[in-house]
């Protein structure tokens, strides 16, 4: 089997430089057929530039782009069979829904007799079979999103690019649309490439996520891998919530590093590749891996684990779990999640607690 065509998109050594700015810097990745792939990164990391190169609006400074096994470098945007949904959706306000969807088919030279069937089919598939005659202003925000996607999908693209399409929606609709987009991608079985700076969107929807920073991919992986096995300190800090400490490695033995933090704590942690004795490091611990017990109820600290004494600063109710903020011995705030029993945590601000976490839950990266 030809490996290349098992991937809808493959980029190799792709770069884009604007003068001295390396907007995209030697990026290589492949996206398996029919999957949901997100590019996640902070503002200015190069997401849009990468997307524009895939769509053909920007010429790479270096590297190649293959779509369905064929280089598209010399193919103009309108002949790439890549479609794009923008944040502002760009629906035509003067046309009804049917005409919005039919527009691309007419431009592509689809025989007039086939257009109604194709438009109605795609409206069925997005579960809005009866809105063809509606004006755009008569649609809800979520319906407009679906019509924007239908307008692309009716043209049967190889790849659909989505540039932060949920950015303009209110929080509740955004939550609903996350699930909806994932279902739509599954339904069409077409590769969606979704760019976002919102890690919760990327984690919920994607089969694979690329975390981008300063023009480069830091890690590409499944959401679970990024969360539980971040490859770099940037990924550990950008994906999910973490407590962080900066410090220096005092010793490493049996795969456990002992770090003296800048705030004067001693923390046992799991050294990642490149961490050596004497090296400056960053430590990340997820709140859910920290157990909080009332001081009197906690056993004696275990010398092979981490135990910190602190005082509850605040309790943030969050349904099944509550998050507590604990003032640690060097008066930093440490976040821990406590499971709620009987509707609320019995910890109160001012309570003395002991925080415990295992060394393997403290990820330690060279700085």
Name the site residues for ligand ATP (rule: CB under 6 A). Answer: 18, 21, 23, 41, 43-49, 197
Determine contact, residues 251/258, Cβ cutoff 8 Å: yes
Compare residues 44 and 141 and give the one whose CB is closer to ligand ATP. 44
Q: Minimal distance in Å, beta carbon 11 to ligand ATP?
A: 15
* Minimum distance from residue 62 beta carbon to ligand ATP (Å): 15
In the complex, minimum distance from the CB of residue 17 to ligand ATP, in angstroms, rounded to a whole number: 9
Which residue's CB is nearer to ligand ATP, number 21 or number 263? Answer: 21
334-to-142, 179, 249, 295, 304 alpha-carbon distances in Å:
38, 32, 21, 16, 20
Closest to ligand ATP by CB, 57 or 92:
57
Q: How far is the CB of 47 from ligand ATP (least distance, A)?
A: 4
- Which CB, 181 or 195, lies closer to ligand ATP? 195
- Give min distance, CB of 80 to ligand ATP, in A: 19
Distance CA 226, CA 141 (A): 31
Measured from the CB atom, the residue of 43 and 253 that comes closer to ligand ATP is 43
Q: What b/e string do you get for 167-196 counting C-beta neighbours within 10 Å, with b at 16 or more?
A: eebeeebbeebbebbbebbeebebbbbbbb
| Partner residues linked to 84 by β-bridges | 161
Q: 276-305 burial, b for 16+ CB within 10 Å, e for fewer?
A: eeebebbbbbbbbbbbbeeeeebeeeeeee
Q: Could you tell me the smallest distance in angstroms from the CB atom of residue 328 to ligand ATP?
A: 34
Name the residue nearer to ligand ATP (CB basis): 178 or 197: 197
Q: How far is the CB of 197 from ligand ATP (least distance, A)?
A: 5
Evaluate whether 54 touches 161 at the Cβ level (below 8 Å): yes
For 344, the token pair is 């609320």
Phi then psi for 28, rounded to 5 degrees? -130, 130
| CA nearest neighbour of 159 among 50, 15, 74, 13 | 50
Q: Closest separation between CB of residue 38 and ligand ATP, Å?
A: 13
Structure tokens that stand for 29 in this block:
């990745």
Q: Give 27 or 275: the residue with its C-beta nearer to ligand ATP.
A: 27
Q: Which residues of 334-347 are buried (b: 16+ CB within 10 A; e: fewer)?
A: bbbbbebeeeebeb
Q: Is the dihedral of CA 136, 137, 141, 142 positive or negative?
A: negative
| Minimum CB distance to ligand ATP smaller for 18 or for 92 | 18
């Amino acid at each position: 089997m030809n490996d290349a065509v098992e991937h809808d998109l493959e980029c190799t050594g792709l770069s884009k430089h604007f003068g001295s700015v390396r907007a995209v810097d030697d990026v290589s990745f492949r996206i398996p057929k029919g999957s949901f792939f997100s590019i996640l990164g902070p503002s200015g990391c190069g997401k849009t530039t990468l997307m524009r190169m895939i769509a053909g609006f920007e010429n790479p400074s270096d590297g190649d782009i293959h779509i369905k096994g064929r280089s598209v470098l010399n193919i103009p945007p309108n002949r790439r069979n890549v479609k794009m949904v923008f944040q502002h959706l760009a629906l035509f306000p003067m046309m009804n829904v049917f005409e919005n969807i039919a527009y691309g088919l007419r431009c592509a030279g689809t025989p007039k007799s086939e257009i109604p069937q194709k438009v109605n089919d795609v409206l069925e598939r997005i579960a809005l079979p009866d809105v063809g005659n509606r004006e755009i202003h008569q649609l809800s925000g979520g319906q407009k999103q679906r019509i924007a996607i239908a307008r692309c999908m009716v043209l049967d693209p190889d790849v659909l690019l989505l540039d932060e399409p949920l950015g303009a929606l209110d929080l509740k609709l955004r939550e609903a649309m996350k699930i909806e987009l994932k279902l739509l991608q599954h339904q069409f079985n077409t590769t969606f490439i979704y760019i976002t700076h919102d890690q919760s969107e990327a984690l919920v929807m994607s089969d694979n996520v690329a975390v981008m920073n300063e023009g480069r991919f830091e890690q590409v992986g499944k959401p679970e891998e990024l969360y539980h096995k971040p490859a770099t300190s940037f990924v550990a800090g950008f994906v999910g919530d973490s407590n962080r400490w900066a410090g220096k490695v005092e010793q490493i033995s049996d795969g456990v590093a002992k770090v003296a933090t800048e705030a004067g704590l001693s923390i046992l942690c799991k050294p990642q590749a490149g961490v050596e004795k004497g090296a400056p490091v960053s430590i990340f611990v997820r709140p859910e891996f920290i157990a909080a017990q009332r001081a009197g109820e906690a056993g004696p600290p275990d010398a092979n684990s981490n135990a910190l004494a602190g005082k509850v600063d605040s309790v943030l109710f969050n349904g099944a779990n509550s998050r507590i903020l604990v003032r640690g011995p060097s008066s930093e705030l440490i976040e821990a999640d406590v499971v709620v029993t009987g509707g609320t945590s019995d910890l109160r601000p001012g309570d003395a607690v002991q925080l415990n976490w295992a060394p393997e839950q403290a990820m330690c990266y060279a700085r």
